């Protein structure tokens, strides 16, 4: 099966990081895997991954196991193996600058202050790939401690909704492209 799309969720591996703000990208991959019955338990390319069909398109779901700041290692390895174009790459990450529950999709752009996105840009040599940014709220105190903290009960309800909405946005991107996805999903804060 020729792979057409690579969907990457950023996060940190291990039970210590499950449910943290920094791992919302992993949670969207888990949601897509359930929706489309894709087994993402294989370990290869410094990642957990699985191949399947999402919205009638062959795709790979990927959760890098290299820790956030070296996410590009897995992304570039899979891209080379499947000979993918970066225009067929979508990366899902957390974003401190967006309020919890806010979702923003862009077809390209800078990594901002996100070290996982920056590593992908550095290793890939391009900013021309789709990114889905999920708001986790502004840091209270040390940013590193904040992104590794868990959501409180009220925030978790909001985050569960944005995880489902983000999976829908990825599906829209696969079937309708970036412009339609931005029109449908950007600006739907806390919905």
List, as one string, the DSSP characters of 138-157. --SS-HHHHHTSBPPHHHHH
What is the reported pLDDT for 155?
Answer: 83
What is the reported pLDDT for 10?
Answer: 93
Q: Domain limits of the chain?
A: 5-185
The residues carrying an active-site annotation are 22
Backbone angles phi, psi at 114, to 5 degrees: -80, 115
Q: Calculate mean pLDDT across residues 167-180.
A: 96
- Whether 132 and 91 have beta carbons less than 8 Å apart is answered as yes
Is the alpha carbon torsion for 174, 175, 176, 182 positive or negative?
negative
Rounded Cα gap, residues 51 and 33, in angstroms: 10
Band (188; pLDDT cuts 50, 70, 90): low
Domain 5-185 in this protein, CATH class: alpha beta
Residue 119 DSSP one-character state: H
Closest CA to 26 of 44, 43, 5, 40: 40
Closest CA to 97 of 124, 135, 128, 60: 135
In the chain the beta strands, taken as DSSP E runs, fall at 5-9, 42-44, 47-54, 57-64, 89-95, 103-106, 130-135
- Assess whether pLDDT exceeds 50 at residue 191: no
What is the reported pLDDT for 142?
Answer: 72
Band (140; pLDDT cuts 50, 70, 90): low
Closest CA to 172 of 107, 120, 124: 107
Q: Tell me the per-residue pLDDT of 6-57, one tens digit each, with 9 for 90 and over.
A: 999 999 898 888 888 888 999 999 999 999 999 999 999 999 999 999 999 9
What three-state secondary structure class fits 67? coil
- Assess whether pLDDT exceeds 50 at residue 134: yes
Q: Tell me the per-residue pLDDT of 67-121, one tens digit each, with 9 for 90 and over.
A: 888 999 999 999 999 999 889 999 999 888 888 889 999 999 887 778 888 999 9
Q: Calculate mean pLDDT across residues 184-188.
A: 81
Q: Which pTM value belongs to this model?
A: 0.92
- Assess whether pLDDT exceeds 70 at residue 180: yes
Rounded Cα gap, residues 31 and 29, in angstroms: 5
Token pair 């990825």: residue: 170
- Assess whether pLDDT exceeds 60 at residue 186: yes
What is the reported pLDDT for 189?
Answer: 60
- Whether 66 and 83 have beta carbons less than 8 Å apart is answered as no
What is the reported pLDDT for 175?
Answer: 95
- Assess whether pLDDT exceeds 90 at residue 64: yes
- Whether 163 and 35 have beta carbons less than 8 Å apart is answered as no
């Amino acid at each position: 099966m020729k792979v057409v799309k690579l969907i990457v969720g950023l996060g940190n591996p291990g039970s210590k990081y499950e449910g943290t703000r920094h791992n919302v990208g992993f949670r969207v991959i888990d949601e897509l895997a359930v929706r489309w019955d894709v087994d993402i338990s294989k370990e290869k390319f410094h990642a957990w991954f699985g191949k399947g069909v999402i919205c009638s398109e062959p795709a790979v779901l990927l959760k890098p196991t290299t820790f956030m700041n070296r996410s590009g290692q897995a992304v570039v390895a899979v891209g080379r193996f499947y000979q993918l174009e970066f225009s067929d790459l979508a990366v899902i990450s957390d974003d401190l600058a967006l309020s919890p529950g806010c979702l923003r999709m862009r077809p390209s752009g800078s990594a901002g202050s996100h070290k996982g996105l920056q590593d992908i840009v550095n290793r890939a040599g391009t900013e021309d790939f789709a990114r889905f940014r999920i708001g986790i709220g502004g840091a209270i105190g040390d940013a590193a401690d904040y992104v590794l903290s868990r959501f409180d009960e009220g925030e978790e309800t909001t985050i569960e909704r944005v995880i489902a909405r983000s999976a829908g946005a990825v599906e829209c991107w696969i079937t309708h492209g970036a412009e339609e996805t931005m029109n449908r999903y950007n600006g739907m804060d806390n919905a």
